[in-house]
Chain A
Amino acid sequence: MLKTNQITPEEKKKAFTSIRKKEINENQKLNVLYHIEDFNVNDRPQRFLEAFAAILKHSNYKMALDHFIRMSAKCSRCATTCQVYQATGDPKDIPCYRSELLLSVYRRHFTMGGLLKGRLSGGGYLTDEKIQEMAESFWNCTACRRCSLECPSGIDHGLITHLGRYILSEIGIAPRALVVSTREQLEGATKNTSAIPVPALKDTLEFLEDDMFEEKSVHIKFPIDVENTDYVFFPAVSDFLMEAETLMGIAAVFTVTGDSWTTGTGYFDGINYGLFYSDRMLERVVKKIDVETKRLKGKNVLIGECGHASRSAKYFLPAYCGGKDAFPVINIMEYTYKIWKEGKLKLNPDVVTEKVAYHDPCNIARQRWIINQPREILKSFCKNYVEMTPNGDENICCGGGGGTVSIDEIRPYRTTVGGKLKADQIRKSGCEILVAPCANCKKQLRELVEDQGIDCQVVGLHDLIYKAIIFDDSQIIKKEDEPETLKKEN
């Protein structure tokens, strides 16, 4: 069992030093590390309970909470598996303690026993202090759900954190970074979290196509707004800005197979921060994917290299958009694995010589969805592949899970506390290239290796595939076959 040491007092100071101004904390009556938009600070307990009641009424959480309050044995096995608790050593970071913050509110205000006990003792009411503790605690968690595997009672602490964040968001307590991005995605002019206008998207893709032709002498295309394709593509939109090689790898794979795919200009963002802070936003964002796929008359929803985007589409498109009639959702790694297995994808084993390891994104691996497929592909062409343990469904989170990676002001916390165990694991593996098929994991891991001083490059799976892909001779355009215009440009 991989363990990490507790952080030093100096590291603790660094991780928990808020850059929020003191007067903001006082105005908002909330002392947390992340920024929040201005919100109504009056009657918070009352409004919290109203939001809690409304959510319970219209969701499936109640039966789970009933089950959890009957089951919880407080054995603290979850403590030993939680990477945040291992790093801080603060008992308030024990997943079971965190869950109890919300379960106690539920027990007191929403069960007969709690109401009776409250009447008799005259106490136990929800207070501002408790809301403060929840606002802090639920966002210290990376929502990796690894603790849920270790709970003998089967309590899903990740579900409780998820619900706690949702209720808090209904009274205005949610990280500004996530809210602002989601607002742009749902109500903004660009309709995506990175605020990329469609002309800029088109320019970027054209530029990448030119780049790929220069490098590979193959016409690799990013089809846009093509109707009736097999796959409508939704990557984490930040990939268009920051992960060009991942996108180029994906386009190269489609060039090899010749399958039809497209990116839609109506909506092209796979990111869904709703998964991290609000089910209402989760539903709205998922529905946009459905609408765009219908507009383009596509057959399948294809999600790029992104853990939470994949999970939110895979599990919540059927939930919100028609059950078994919803569009099938496929992660790009599943597609690539399928065509690799069929022998359509050839990879050069002499290109990647460095020591390579694979990082499982929690949102993809925890439910044992995609674990072996990328490993098999990597092992086939990376001579020096090493495995990090634990892995698969028991993987260690990058430390930026649950949306925390997008909250820039808590970077010191993420790279000192949240990602400490991951940093130890990366160091132990000695890998030079770490493959992380998730936009969030990549961002966090890059910041982590930088802040922890680890010499390791973080890339996506398709970045390496792009390097090693072997095209059919018929696809390679020799210099003499090049159109005159291109020759001049070159």
Chain B
Amino acid sequence: MELWLDAAKGPLFRLCFAIMILGLIRIFLLDIWGAYKAYRKAGDKTMPWKLIISRSIEWLFPVKRFGHNRPFYSVISILFHVGLLLVPLFLFAHVQLWRESLGFGWITLPYQWAFWLTLSTIFFAVALFFGRLLNKSSSFISRKQDYLWPLILLIPFVTGFVCAHLSINPQTYQTFMLIHVLSGDIIFVLIPFTKIAHCVLMPLSQVVCTIAWKFPPETDEAVCSTLNKKGAPV
């Protein structure tokens, strides 16, 4: 068991983490490259930066949107994201691991904060799952991954909570810790290839949409030519 755990925490973790980072860099750069190429093609190169930035900030910190639509869902979703980001990044035990391997660390969450944030994230993940399942419009448009993601994300949180806060025998601890680390590894690998890619692409959305409406000149002739419609009546 210990060997498995060491592998999961060591080489496997490094591999999965590298896949995530490289994968995210890849899609981020592809997005930027696509937007740049489109911008180069566009006839109108003016960009309403003020509007783009203000709308991007509105969604990165969606406080303004709390009371708008589905307020219950919105609040849960935002709080879920808060826990999802803060706990893995600032948990004392996690930062300690980074410190051991990198030689430096960063600020950590106080014990009580970590305790309540983990519990709330578990609670909100369950709420999001049932929210999707029971809401008529959400369930109609949901894919498999939309249901699976809250459940997959639950695994490291539940197992981590058990290991950190409950008294269990060493054997069980090892099992839970292995599941905790492995599920984390799997999540890292999945991130760039699923909708969780929004963690790096979201800030680009408003720019991408703005450029998409910047049409290139002379497309009429080019499309006509490709479709053999030159001279065809309207």
Contact = CB atoms under 8 A, between A and B. Distances in A.
A118 interface: no
B165 interface: no
Given A63-B31, A152-B59, A279 B234 contact: no
A363 interface: no
Interface in A65-111: 66-67, 70-77, 79-81, 85, 91, 94, 96-97, 100
B69 A66 contact: no
Interface in B169-185: none
For chain A, the bracket of interface size reads 35 or more
Interface string B34-78: 110110011111101001000110010010010111100110010
Contacts, number: 188
Given A76-B137, A76-B141, A159-B209, A70 B223 contact: no
A91 B44 contact: no
Contacts of B215: 59-60, 279, 282-283, 316, 319-320
Contacts of B233: 183, 187
Nearest to A155: B205
A82 to B, nearest CB: 9
A315 B215 CA distance: 9
A349 interface: no
B234 A319 contact: no
Contacts of B68: 1, 81, 150
Interface in A150-184: 150, 152-156, 159, 170, 179, 182-183
B195 to A, nearest CB: 5
B143 A74 contact: yes
B27 A94 contact: no
A388 to B, nearest CB: 17
A57 B226 CA distance: 9
Interface in B143-169: 143, 146
Given A154-B209, A315-B213, A63 B137 contact: no
Interface string A273-284: 000000111111
A439 B67 CA distance: 34
For chain B, the bracket of interface size reads 35 or more
A61 interface: yes
Contacts of A338: none
A80 B141 CA distance: 13
Nearest to A281: B234
Contact of B205 (A71, A94, A367): A71
Contacts of B65: 150, 152
Contact of A71 (B37, B77, B201): B201
Q: Chain A contact residues: over half helix, strand or loop, or mixed? A: helix
A368 interface: yes
A91 B137 contact: yes
A324 interface: yes
Q: Chain B contact residues: over half helix, strand or loop, or mixed? A: helix
A42 B181 CA distance: 55
B62 A320 contact: no
A108 to B, nearest CB: 14
A66 B30 contact: yes
A58 B222 contact: yes
Contacts of B101: none
Nearest to A171: B227
Contacts of A91: 136-137, 140-141
Contact of A1 (B69, B198, B216, B234): B69
Contact of B138 (A76, A85, A159): A76
A319 B140 CA distance: 38
A62 B33 CA distance: 12
Nearest to A57: B226
A73 B234 contact: no
Contacts of B197: 70-71
Contacts of B218: 283, 320
A116 interface: no
A470 interface: no
Given A64-B211, A153-B198, A154-B206, 9 more contacts: A67-B201, A77-B69, A97-B141, A152-B65, A156-B212, A156-B213, A183-B234, A321-B217, A323-B44
18 contacts: A1-B67, A67-B205, A74-B142, A75-B77, A76-B135, A79-B137, A80-B69, A152-B77, A154-B59, A279-B220, A280-B219, A280-B223, A283-B217, A318-B46, A320-B217, A321-B43, A323-B43, A326-B44
Top 8 A-B residue pairs of the complex, sorted by shortest distance between their CB atoms: A154-B205, A63-B34, A318-B44, A64-B212, A91-B140, A79-B137, A60-B38, A319-B43
